[in-house]
Chains A and B, each alone.
Chain A
Amino acid sequence: MVSFLRVLERVIKIADNIYSPLGTSTEENFKAVKSGISGLKKYCDMFDSVEPFTASAMPVRMTFRQMCIESATRALQQTDIDPSSDDVIFVFSTTKGEDLRLWEPSVAVARHFGNNNQPIIVSNACISGVNAQIMASRVLKAGLYKTAVVIGCDVLSKFIVSGFQSLKALSADKCLPFDKNRQGLNLGEAAACMVLSTVNGNYESKRWIYEAGSIHNDANHISGPSRTAEGSYRCLADCLKNIDTADLAFISVHGTGTAYNDEMESIALHRVGLDSKPVVALKCYYGHTLGAAGVLETLLSMQAIEHQEIPAALGFKEQGTTYNCMLPTTKTNVKGNSFIKILSGFGGCNAAVRWVLR
Protein backbone atom coordinates (compact mmCIF):
# COMPACT_ATOMS: atom_id res chain seq x y z
CA MET A 1 0.00 0.00 0.00
CA VAL A 2 1.32 3.40 -0.94
CA SER A 3 1.00 6.17 1.57
CA PHE A 4 0.99 9.74 0.38
CA LEU A 5 0.05 13.26 1.25
CA ARG A 6 -3.08 14.46 -0.42
CA VAL A 7 -1.75 17.66 -1.90
CA LEU A 8 -4.04 20.02 -3.71
CA GLU A 9 -1.87 20.54 -6.70
CA ARG A 10 -3.19 21.73 -10.01
CA VAL A 11 -3.13 19.49 -12.99
CA ILE A 12 -2.22 21.21 -16.21
CA LYS A 13 -1.91 20.07 -19.80
CA ILE A 14 1.64 20.58 -20.99
CA ALA A 15 1.63 18.91 -24.43
CA ASP A 16 -0.63 17.09 -26.82
CA ASN A 17 -1.04 15.41 -30.18
CA ILE A 18 -3.77 14.09 -32.43
CA TYR A 19 -2.76 11.41 -34.90
CA SER A 20 -5.71 10.83 -37.19
CA PRO A 21 -6.80 10.58 -40.82
CA LEU A 22 -6.99 14.40 -40.76
CA GLY A 23 -3.42 15.03 -39.69
CA THR A 24 -0.54 14.09 -37.45
CA SER A 25 -0.55 17.08 -35.13
CA THR A 26 -3.27 18.77 -33.10
CA GLU A 27 -2.84 21.97 -35.14
CA GLU A 28 -3.16 20.14 -38.46
CA ASN A 29 -6.30 18.45 -37.21
CA PHE A 30 -7.89 21.68 -36.04
CA LYS A 31 -7.01 23.36 -39.31
CA ALA A 32 -8.73 20.59 -41.26
CA VAL A 33 -11.82 20.70 -39.06
CA LYS A 34 -11.97 24.49 -39.30
CA SER A 35 -11.92 24.18 -43.08
CA GLY A 36 -14.81 21.74 -42.97
CA ILE A 37 -12.76 18.73 -44.08
CA SER A 38 -14.17 15.41 -42.93
CA GLY A 39 -12.28 12.13 -42.69
CA LEU A 40 -15.45 10.13 -43.37
CA LYS A 41 -15.42 7.97 -46.49
CA LYS A 42 -17.30 4.95 -47.74
CA TYR A 43 -15.44 1.63 -47.47
CA CYS A 44 -16.56 -1.48 -49.32
CA ASP A 45 -13.87 -4.08 -48.79
CA MET A 46 -11.73 -3.13 -45.82
CA PHE A 47 -12.72 -6.31 -43.98
CA ASP A 48 -13.99 -9.58 -45.43
CA SER A 49 -17.71 -10.43 -44.98
CA VAL A 50 -18.50 -6.98 -43.56
CA GLU A 51 -21.12 -4.91 -45.40
CA PRO A 52 -20.00 -1.53 -46.82
CA PHE A 53 -19.72 1.19 -44.17
CA THR A 54 -18.79 4.84 -43.80
CA ALA A 55 -15.85 5.53 -41.51
CA SER A 56 -12.84 7.72 -40.91
CA ALA A 57 -9.83 5.47 -41.49
CA MET A 58 -6.08 5.95 -41.59
CA PRO A 59 -4.63 5.87 -45.13
CA VAL A 60 -2.78 2.67 -44.21
CA ARG A 61 -3.70 0.00 -41.66
CA MET A 62 -1.81 0.60 -38.43
CA THR A 63 -1.78 -1.25 -35.13
CA PHE A 64 -2.85 0.15 -31.77
CA ARG A 65 0.79 0.10 -30.68
CA GLN A 66 2.02 2.00 -33.73
CA MET A 67 -0.71 4.64 -33.43
CA CYS A 68 -0.07 5.17 -29.70
CA ILE A 69 3.67 5.47 -30.22
CA GLU A 70 3.29 7.91 -33.14
CA SER A 71 0.99 10.14 -31.13
CA ALA A 72 2.86 10.02 -27.81
CA THR A 73 6.23 10.58 -29.49
CA ARG A 74 4.96 13.78 -31.09
CA ALA A 75 3.40 14.99 -27.84
CA LEU A 76 6.47 14.21 -25.73
CA GLN A 77 8.74 16.02 -28.18
CA GLN A 78 7.07 19.27 -27.09
CA THR A 79 8.25 18.82 -23.50
CA ASP A 80 11.46 18.26 -21.60
CA ILE A 81 9.84 15.43 -19.68
CA ASP A 82 11.85 12.22 -19.53
CA PRO A 83 9.22 9.53 -20.16
CA SER A 84 11.43 6.85 -18.62
CA SER A 85 11.37 8.60 -15.24
CA ASP A 86 9.71 6.90 -12.26
CA ASP A 87 7.63 10.08 -11.87
CA VAL A 88 5.84 9.43 -15.15
CA ILE A 89 2.84 7.16 -15.58
CA PHE A 90 1.14 6.10 -18.81
CA VAL A 91 -2.65 6.11 -18.73
CA PHE A 92 -4.45 4.48 -21.64
CA SER A 93 -7.98 4.74 -22.91
CA THR A 94 -9.09 1.95 -25.22
CA THR A 95 -11.93 -0.48 -25.74
CA LYS A 96 -10.29 -3.13 -27.87
CA GLY A 97 -6.53 -2.49 -27.78
CA GLU A 98 -4.73 -4.84 -30.15
CA ASP A 99 -5.86 -8.37 -31.03
CA LEU A 100 -8.39 -8.10 -28.19
CA ARG A 101 -5.57 -7.55 -25.70
CA LEU A 102 -5.39 -4.32 -23.73
CA TRP A 103 -2.72 -4.89 -21.10
CA GLU A 104 0.14 -6.30 -23.17
CA PRO A 105 0.16 -3.74 -26.00
CA SER A 106 -0.25 -0.87 -23.52
CA VAL A 107 2.72 -2.09 -21.47
CA ALA A 108 4.67 -2.41 -24.72
CA VAL A 109 3.96 1.26 -25.53
CA ALA A 110 5.10 2.39 -22.08
CA ARG A 111 8.25 0.26 -22.39
CA HIS A 112 8.92 1.76 -25.83
CA PHE A 113 9.43 5.05 -24.02
CA GLY A 114 11.58 3.34 -21.41
CA ASN A 115 8.88 3.67 -18.78
CA ASN A 116 8.79 0.81 -16.29
CA ASN A 117 5.78 1.82 -14.19
CA GLN A 118 2.63 -0.25 -14.44
CA PRO A 119 0.28 1.65 -16.77
CA ILE A 120 -3.35 2.29 -15.92
CA ILE A 121 -5.79 1.31 -18.64
CA VAL A 122 -9.29 2.69 -18.55
CA SER A 123 -11.70 0.48 -20.45
CA ASN A 124 -15.04 2.06 -19.69
CA ALA A 125 -16.62 1.85 -23.14
CA CYS A 126 -17.07 5.13 -24.99
CA ILE A 127 -16.38 7.35 -21.97
CA SER A 128 -12.86 5.93 -21.56
CA GLY A 129 -11.10 9.00 -23.00
CA VAL A 130 -12.65 11.41 -20.51
CA ASN A 131 -12.44 8.83 -17.75
CA ALA A 132 -8.69 8.47 -18.41
CA GLN A 133 -8.22 12.22 -17.92
CA ILE A 134 -10.06 11.93 -14.61
CA MET A 135 -7.98 8.92 -13.49
CA ALA A 136 -4.74 10.63 -14.53
CA SER A 137 -5.66 13.79 -12.61
CA ARG A 138 -6.40 11.70 -9.54
CA VAL A 139 -3.08 9.90 -9.48
CA LEU A 140 -1.29 13.20 -10.09
CA LYS A 141 -3.22 15.04 -7.38
CA ALA A 142 -2.57 12.16 -5.01
CA GLY A 143 1.11 12.78 -5.59
CA LEU A 144 1.86 9.29 -6.85
CA TYR A 145 3.39 10.66 -10.04
CA LYS A 146 4.33 14.07 -11.43
CA THR A 147 3.41 13.53 -15.04
CA ALA A 148 0.80 11.41 -16.80
CA VAL A 149 0.96 10.56 -20.48
CA VAL A 150 -2.69 9.98 -21.38
CA ILE A 151 -3.18 8.12 -24.65
CA GLY A 152 -6.57 7.37 -26.19
CA CYS A 153 -6.64 4.98 -29.12
CA ASP A 154 -8.76 2.45 -30.95
CA VAL A 155 -8.27 1.10 -34.44
CA LEU A 156 -10.93 -0.07 -36.86
CA SER A 157 -11.31 -3.83 -37.04
CA LYS A 158 -13.65 -6.44 -38.40
CA PHE A 159 -14.65 -7.08 -34.78
CA ILE A 160 -15.77 -3.52 -34.10
CA VAL A 161 -17.40 -2.78 -37.44
CA SER A 162 -19.35 -6.07 -37.58
CA GLY A 163 -20.49 -5.58 -34.00
CA PHE A 164 -21.89 -2.09 -34.52
CA GLN A 165 -23.49 -3.31 -37.75
CA SER A 166 -25.13 -6.19 -35.87
CA LEU A 167 -26.61 -3.64 -33.48
CA LYS A 168 -27.91 -1.65 -36.48
CA ALA A 169 -26.15 1.34 -34.97
CA LEU A 170 -24.25 2.46 -38.08
CA SER A 171 -25.37 5.08 -40.55
CA ALA A 172 -24.69 4.01 -44.14
CA ASP A 173 -23.88 7.63 -45.01
CA LYS A 174 -22.14 10.39 -43.08
CA CYS A 175 -23.60 10.76 -39.60
CA LEU A 176 -25.83 13.73 -38.75
CA PRO A 177 -25.65 14.34 -35.00
CA PHE A 178 -28.78 15.98 -33.55
CA ASP A 179 -30.38 16.21 -36.99
CA LYS A 180 -33.93 15.06 -37.62
CA ASN A 181 -32.65 12.71 -40.32
CA ARG A 182 -29.86 11.10 -38.33
CA GLN A 183 -29.54 7.40 -39.04
CA GLY A 184 -26.82 6.28 -36.68
CA LEU A 185 -23.11 6.64 -36.10
CA ASN A 186 -19.94 6.24 -38.14
CA LEU A 187 -16.85 4.64 -36.70
CA GLY A 188 -13.39 6.13 -36.85
CA GLU A 189 -9.83 5.47 -35.78
CA ALA A 190 -7.29 7.78 -34.22
CA ALA A 191 -4.80 8.14 -31.43
CA ALA A 192 -4.70 11.22 -29.25
CA CYS A 193 -2.26 12.04 -26.51
CA MET A 194 -2.36 14.55 -23.70
CA VAL A 195 0.56 15.06 -21.33
CA LEU A 196 -0.68 16.17 -17.93
CA SER A 197 1.50 17.39 -15.16
CA THR A 198 1.65 18.93 -11.73
CA VAL A 199 5.14 20.17 -12.48
CA ASN A 200 5.42 23.88 -12.99
CA GLY A 201 7.68 24.58 -15.93
CA ASN A 202 8.02 27.42 -18.37
CA TYR A 203 5.83 26.19 -21.16
CA GLU A 204 3.31 28.85 -22.01
CA SER A 205 1.96 31.98 -20.43
CA LYS A 206 -1.59 30.67 -20.46
CA ARG A 207 -2.30 27.13 -19.44
CA TRP A 208 -5.04 24.58 -19.61
CA ILE A 209 -6.07 23.67 -16.10
CA TYR A 210 -8.10 20.60 -15.26
CA GLU A 211 -10.94 21.99 -13.16
CA ALA A 212 -13.48 19.23 -12.66
CA GLY A 213 -14.36 15.71 -13.68
CA SER A 214 -17.32 13.49 -13.00
CA ILE A 215 -18.60 10.01 -13.84
CA HIS A 216 -22.12 8.70 -13.27
CA ASN A 217 -24.11 5.64 -14.24
CA ASP A 218 -27.65 5.80 -15.64
CA ALA A 219 -28.60 2.64 -13.72
CA ASN A 220 -31.03 2.02 -16.54
CA HIS A 221 -29.89 -0.15 -19.44
CA ILE A 222 -26.63 -1.71 -20.64
CA SER A 223 -26.95 -0.66 -24.27
CA GLY A 224 -29.25 2.36 -24.29
CA PRO A 225 -29.02 5.73 -22.54
CA SER A 226 -31.42 6.89 -19.86
CA ARG A 227 -34.54 8.57 -21.28
CA THR A 228 -34.19 11.22 -18.59
CA ALA A 229 -30.40 11.57 -18.93
CA GLU A 230 -29.79 10.62 -15.29
CA GLY A 231 -26.06 10.01 -15.65
CA SER A 232 -25.17 12.85 -18.00
CA TYR A 233 -27.30 15.29 -16.04
CA ARG A 234 -25.43 14.44 -12.85
CA CYS A 235 -22.04 14.73 -14.60
CA LEU A 236 -22.90 18.17 -15.98
CA ALA A 237 -24.29 19.32 -12.63
CA ASP A 238 -21.06 18.25 -10.90
CA CYS A 239 -18.94 20.17 -13.42
CA LEU A 240 -21.08 23.29 -12.98
CA LYS A 241 -20.82 23.36 -9.18
CA ASN A 242 -19.77 26.78 -7.86
CA ILE A 243 -18.98 28.31 -11.23
CA ASP A 244 -20.25 31.21 -13.26
CA THR A 245 -21.37 29.80 -16.60
CA ALA A 246 -20.58 33.11 -18.34
CA ASP A 247 -17.02 31.92 -18.85
CA LEU A 248 -18.24 28.64 -20.34
CA ALA A 249 -17.70 28.95 -24.11
CA PHE A 250 -19.47 25.78 -25.19
CA ILE A 251 -20.32 22.17 -24.43
CA SER A 252 -18.44 19.59 -26.44
CA VAL A 253 -21.01 16.80 -26.72
CA HIS A 254 -20.75 13.12 -27.56
CA GLY A 255 -23.17 13.59 -30.50
CA THR A 256 -22.88 10.12 -32.01
CA GLY A 257 -25.73 10.58 -34.45
CA THR A 258 -27.82 7.77 -32.98
CA ALA A 259 -31.44 8.55 -32.17
CA TYR A 260 -31.23 7.87 -28.44
CA ASN A 261 -27.83 9.32 -27.59
CA ASP A 262 -28.44 12.75 -29.09
CA GLU A 263 -31.92 12.94 -27.61
CA MET A 264 -30.51 12.07 -24.20
CA GLU A 265 -27.83 14.77 -24.46
CA SER A 266 -30.38 17.41 -25.39
CA ILE A 267 -32.33 16.46 -22.26
CA ALA A 268 -29.21 16.55 -20.08
CA LEU A 269 -28.28 20.03 -21.34
CA HIS A 270 -31.82 21.24 -20.81
CA ARG A 271 -31.96 19.86 -17.28
CA VAL A 272 -28.91 21.87 -16.23
CA GLY A 273 -30.10 24.97 -18.08
CA LEU A 274 -27.39 25.02 -20.73
CA ASP A 275 -29.75 24.98 -23.74
CA SER A 276 -28.47 28.33 -24.90
CA LYS A 277 -24.76 27.44 -24.88
CA PRO A 278 -23.12 26.63 -28.21
CA VAL A 279 -22.55 22.94 -28.83
CA VAL A 280 -19.52 21.36 -30.48
CA ALA A 281 -20.13 18.00 -32.17
CA LEU A 282 -17.14 16.45 -33.92
CA LYS A 283 -18.28 13.01 -35.08
CA CYS A 284 -19.03 14.41 -38.56
CA TYR A 285 -15.26 14.86 -38.96
CA TYR A 286 -13.84 11.78 -37.24
CA GLY A 287 -16.69 9.34 -36.73
CA HIS A 288 -16.80 7.74 -33.31
CA THR A 289 -13.19 7.01 -32.45
CA LEU A 290 -14.17 5.01 -29.31
CA GLY A 291 -11.25 5.00 -26.87
CA ALA A 292 -9.66 7.99 -28.61
CA ALA A 293 -12.83 10.10 -28.70
CA GLY A 294 -12.60 11.64 -25.23
CA VAL A 295 -8.98 12.73 -25.62
CA LEU A 296 -9.26 13.81 -29.26
CA GLU A 297 -12.43 15.83 -28.74
CA THR A 298 -11.08 17.45 -25.57
CA LEU A 299 -7.94 18.57 -27.45
CA LEU A 300 -9.95 19.99 -30.36
CA SER A 301 -12.20 21.79 -27.88
CA MET A 302 -9.08 23.40 -26.39
CA GLN A 303 -8.05 24.50 -29.88
CA ALA A 304 -11.50 25.98 -30.44
CA ILE A 305 -11.17 28.09 -27.28
CA GLU A 306 -7.65 29.17 -28.18
CA HIS A 307 -8.85 30.25 -31.64
CA GLN A 308 -12.21 31.52 -30.28
CA GLU A 309 -13.91 29.65 -33.07
CA ILE A 310 -15.98 26.47 -33.08
CA PRO A 311 -16.29 24.18 -36.10
CA ALA A 312 -19.52 23.67 -38.03
CA ALA A 313 -21.72 20.61 -37.59
CA LEU A 314 -21.40 19.31 -41.15
CA GLY A 315 -24.69 18.41 -42.79
CA PHE A 316 -26.79 19.63 -39.89
CA LYS A 317 -30.09 20.99 -41.17
CA GLU A 318 -33.05 20.40 -38.95
CA GLN A 319 -33.15 20.01 -35.18
CA GLY A 320 -34.12 16.44 -34.34
CA THR A 321 -34.17 16.39 -30.54
CA THR A 322 -36.81 17.35 -27.98
CA TYR A 323 -34.79 20.33 -26.80
CA ASN A 324 -32.94 22.54 -29.23
CA CYS A 325 -29.18 22.39 -29.15
CA MET A 326 -27.11 25.27 -30.47
CA LEU A 327 -25.18 23.50 -33.22
CA PRO A 328 -23.41 25.91 -35.58
CA THR A 329 -23.93 25.24 -39.28
CA THR A 330 -20.88 27.32 -40.15
CA LYS A 331 -17.77 27.95 -38.12
CA THR A 332 -18.72 30.40 -35.42
CA ASN A 333 -16.90 32.71 -33.04
CA VAL A 334 -17.19 32.00 -29.34
CA LYS A 335 -16.11 33.76 -26.17
CA GLY A 336 -15.05 32.26 -22.89
CA ASN A 337 -12.09 30.40 -21.46
CA SER A 338 -13.65 27.15 -20.39
CA PHE A 339 -15.61 24.26 -21.83
CA ILE A 340 -17.16 21.00 -20.70
CA LYS A 341 -16.62 17.76 -22.61
CA ILE A 342 -19.27 15.07 -22.10
CA LEU A 343 -19.45 11.44 -23.20
CA SER A 344 -21.75 8.49 -22.69
CA GLY A 345 -21.35 4.80 -23.36
CA PHE A 346 -22.56 1.24 -23.15
CA GLY A 347 -22.89 -0.06 -19.65
CA GLY A 348 -24.87 3.10 -18.84
CA CYS A 349 -21.77 5.16 -18.10
CA ASN A 350 -21.45 8.92 -18.55
CA ALA A 351 -18.56 11.29 -17.96
CA ALA A 352 -17.73 14.98 -18.08
CA VAL A 353 -14.63 17.13 -17.59
CA ARG A 354 -14.26 20.88 -17.37
CA TRP A 355 -11.06 22.56 -18.52
CA VAL A 356 -10.15 26.22 -18.12
CA LEU A 357 -7.54 28.27 -19.99
CA ARG A 358 -5.96 30.58 -17.48
Chain B
Amino acid sequence: MEELKLQLKKQIIEALNLLDITPDDIDNAAPLFNEGLGLDSIDALEIVMLLDKNYGIKFADKEQSKLALKSIDTLAQYVTEHRTK
Protein backbone atom coordinates (compact mmCIF):
# COMPACT_ATOMS: atom_id res chain seq x y z
CA MET B 1 0.00 0.00 0.00
CA GLU B 2 2.76 2.47 0.91
CA GLU B 3 4.45 1.70 -2.38
CA LEU B 4 1.24 2.36 -4.29
CA LYS B 5 0.77 5.67 -2.47
CA LEU B 6 4.26 6.79 -3.47
CA GLN B 7 3.62 5.68 -7.04
CA LEU B 8 0.34 7.62 -7.16
CA LYS B 9 2.02 10.74 -5.81
CA LYS B 10 4.75 10.51 -8.43
CA GLN B 11 2.20 10.01 -11.21
CA ILE B 12 0.11 12.97 -10.04
CA ILE B 13 3.15 15.23 -9.73
CA GLU B 14 4.22 14.32 -13.24
CA ALA B 15 0.80 14.55 -14.87
CA LEU B 16 -0.01 17.89 -13.25
CA ASN B 17 3.47 19.38 -13.63
CA LEU B 18 3.76 20.06 -9.90
CA LEU B 19 7.46 20.64 -10.31
CA ASP B 20 7.85 22.50 -7.03
CA ILE B 21 6.47 19.57 -5.05
CA THR B 22 8.04 16.25 -4.02
CA PRO B 23 6.13 13.13 -2.89
CA ASP B 24 7.24 13.93 0.67
CA ASP B 25 5.36 17.23 0.52
CA ILE B 26 2.04 15.47 -0.01
CA ASP B 27 0.42 14.29 3.21
CA ASN B 28 -1.40 10.98 2.70
CA ALA B 29 -4.45 12.11 4.66
CA ALA B 30 -4.60 15.73 3.47
CA PRO B 31 -7.27 16.80 0.97
CA LEU B 32 -5.95 16.91 -2.59
CA PHE B 33 -8.29 19.69 -3.67
CA ASN B 34 -8.91 23.25 -2.61
CA GLU B 35 -7.18 23.88 0.71
CA GLY B 36 -4.80 20.92 0.37
CA LEU B 37 -2.63 20.80 -2.73
CA GLY B 38 -4.77 23.50 -4.30
CA LEU B 39 -5.75 21.41 -7.30
CA ASP B 40 -8.71 22.42 -9.46
CA SER B 41 -11.45 20.72 -11.47
CA ILE B 42 -9.27 20.19 -14.55
CA ASP B 43 -6.63 18.55 -12.35
CA ALA B 44 -9.34 16.22 -11.06
CA LEU B 45 -10.23 15.23 -14.62
CA GLU B 46 -6.55 14.69 -15.39
CA ILE B 47 -6.20 12.37 -12.38
CA VAL B 48 -9.32 10.46 -13.45
CA MET B 49 -7.74 10.01 -16.89
CA LEU B 50 -4.44 8.91 -15.31
CA LEU B 51 -6.23 6.27 -13.22
CA ASP B 52 -7.88 4.90 -16.34
CA LYS B 53 -4.60 4.84 -18.24
CA ASN B 54 -2.45 3.29 -15.51
CA TYR B 55 -4.91 1.14 -13.57
CA GLY B 56 -7.84 0.62 -15.91
CA ILE B 57 -10.18 2.36 -13.52
CA LYS B 58 -13.43 3.81 -14.87
CA PHE B 59 -15.68 5.74 -12.51
CA ALA B 60 -19.42 5.28 -12.83
CA ASP B 61 -20.19 8.86 -11.84
CA LYS B 62 -18.84 12.10 -10.47
CA GLU B 63 -19.75 11.30 -6.86
CA GLN B 64 -17.76 8.10 -6.95
CA SER B 65 -14.66 9.85 -8.28
CA LYS B 66 -15.09 12.67 -5.79
CA LEU B 67 -14.97 10.25 -2.87
CA ALA B 68 -12.00 8.37 -4.29
CA LEU B 69 -10.04 11.55 -4.99
CA LYS B 70 -10.33 12.97 -1.48
CA SER B 71 -6.78 12.17 -0.45
CA ILE B 72 -3.89 9.90 -1.32
CA ASP B 73 -5.18 7.47 1.33
CA THR B 74 -8.65 7.16 -0.21
CA LEU B 75 -7.18 7.03 -3.69
CA ALA B 76 -4.80 4.17 -2.87
CA GLN B 77 -7.66 2.29 -1.23
CA TYR B 78 -9.87 2.74 -4.27
CA VAL B 79 -7.15 1.75 -6.72
CA THR B 80 -6.38 -1.40 -4.72
CA GLU B 81 -10.03 -2.44 -4.79
CA HIS B 82 -10.90 -1.50 -8.36
CA ARG B 83 -7.80 -1.79 -10.52
CA THR B 84 -8.06 -3.94 -13.61
CA LYS B 85 -4.43 -3.62 -14.62
Question: CB atoms of A and B under 8 A apart anywhere in the complex?
Answer: yes
Contact indicator per residue, chain B 17-47, by CB within 8 Å of chain A (1) or not (0): 0000000000000000000000001100100
Nearest opposing residue in chain A for B41, CB measure:
A224
Contact indicator per residue, chain B 28-68, by CB within 8 Å of chain A (1) or not (0): 00000000000001100100010000000000000000000
Answer yes or no: A167 CB below 8 A from chain B CBs: yes
Answer yes or no: A66 CB below 8 A from chain B CBs: no
> How extensive is the interface on chain A, given as a class?
under 10
Report the separation of the CA atoms of residues A102 and B17 in the bound assembly, to the nearest whole angstrom. Answer: 28
Contact indicator per residue, chain A 222-238, by CB within 8 Å of chain B (1) or not (0): 01100000000000000
- B42: A residues at CB distance < 8 A: 167, 223
- B45: A residues at CB distance < 8 A: 166-168
Chain A facing B: main interface SS: loop
* A-B contacts, 7 listed (Cβ < 8 Å): A166-B45, A166-B49, A167-B42, A167-B45, A168-B45, A223-B42, A224-B41
Report the separation of the CA atoms of residues A224 and B44 in the bound assembly, to the nearest whole angstrom. Answer: 14
- B49: A residues at CB distance < 8 A: 166
Q: Which of A167-188 contact B (CB under 8 A)?
A: 167-168
**B53 → chain A closest CB, angstroms:** 12
Report the separation of the CA atoms of residues A214 and B69 in the bound assembly, to the nearest whole angstrom. Answer: 41
- A167: B residues at CB distance < 8 A: 42, 45
- B41: A residues at CB distance < 8 A: 224
**B57 → chain A closest CB, angstroms:** 16
Q: Which of A152-173 contact B (CB under 8 A)?
A: 166-168
Report the separation of the CA atoms of residues A224 and B45 in the bound assembly, to the nearest whole angstrom. Answer: 14
Report the separation of the CA atoms of residues A224 and B41 in the bound assembly, to the nearest whole angstrom. Answer: 10
- A166: B residues at CB distance < 8 A: 45, 49
Report the separation of the CA atoms of residues A134 and B49 in the bound assembly, to the nearest whole angstrom. Answer: 39
Report the separation of the CA atoms of residues A167 and B41 in the bound assembly, to the nearest whole angstrom. Answer: 9
Nearest opposing residue in chain B for A223, CB measure:
B42
Report the separation of the CA atoms of residues A52 and B74 in the bound assembly, to the nearest whole angstrom. Answer: 31
Nearest opposing residue in chain B for A224, CB measure:
B41
**B46 → chain A closest CB, angstroms:** 9
Report the separation of the CA atoms of residues A238 and B45 in the bound assembly, to the nearest whole angstrom. Answer: 36
Report the separation of the CA atoms of residues A262 and B49 in the bound assembly, to the nearest whole angstrom. Answer: 27
Nearest opposing residue in chain B for A167, CB measure:
B45
Nearest opposing residue in chain A for B48, CB measure:
A168
**A56 → chain B closest CB, angstroms:** 25
**A171 → chain B closest CB, angstroms:** 15
- A168: B residues at CB distance < 8 A: 45
- A224: B residues at CB distance < 8 A: 41
**B56 → chain A closest CB, angstroms:** 16
- A223: B residues at CB distance < 8 A: 42
**A263 → chain B closest CB, angstroms:** 15
**A165 → chain B closest CB, angstroms:** 10
Report the separation of the CA atoms of residues A167 and B45 in the bound assembly, to the nearest whole angstrom. Answer: 7
Nearest opposing residue in chain B for A222, CB measure:
B42
**B37 → chain A closest CB, angstroms:** 17
Kindly list the 5 A-B residue pairs having the minimum CB-CB distance in the complex, ordered from nearest. Answer: A223-B42, A168-B45, A167-B45, A166-B45, A166-B49
**A91 → chain B closest CB, angstroms:** 31
Report the separation of the CA atoms of residues A223 and B45 in the bound assembly, to the nearest whole angstrom. Answer: 13
**B40 → chain A closest CB, angstroms:** 8
Report the separation of the CA atoms of residues A223 and B49 in the bound assembly, to the nearest whole angstrom. Answer: 18
Report the separation of the CA atoms of residues A166 and B48 in the bound assembly, to the nearest whole angstrom. Answer: 10
**A115 → chain B closest CB, angstroms:** 40
Contact indicator per residue, chain A 207-229, by CB within 8 Å of chain B (1) or not (0): 00000000000000001100000
Contact indicator per residue, chain A 192-204, by CB within 8 Å of chain B (1) or not (0): 0000000000000
**A39 → chain B closest CB, angstroms:** 28
Nearest opposing residue in chain B for A221, CB measure:
B40
Q: Which of A97-152 contact B (CB under 8 A)?
A: none
**A289 → chain B closest CB, angstroms:** 24
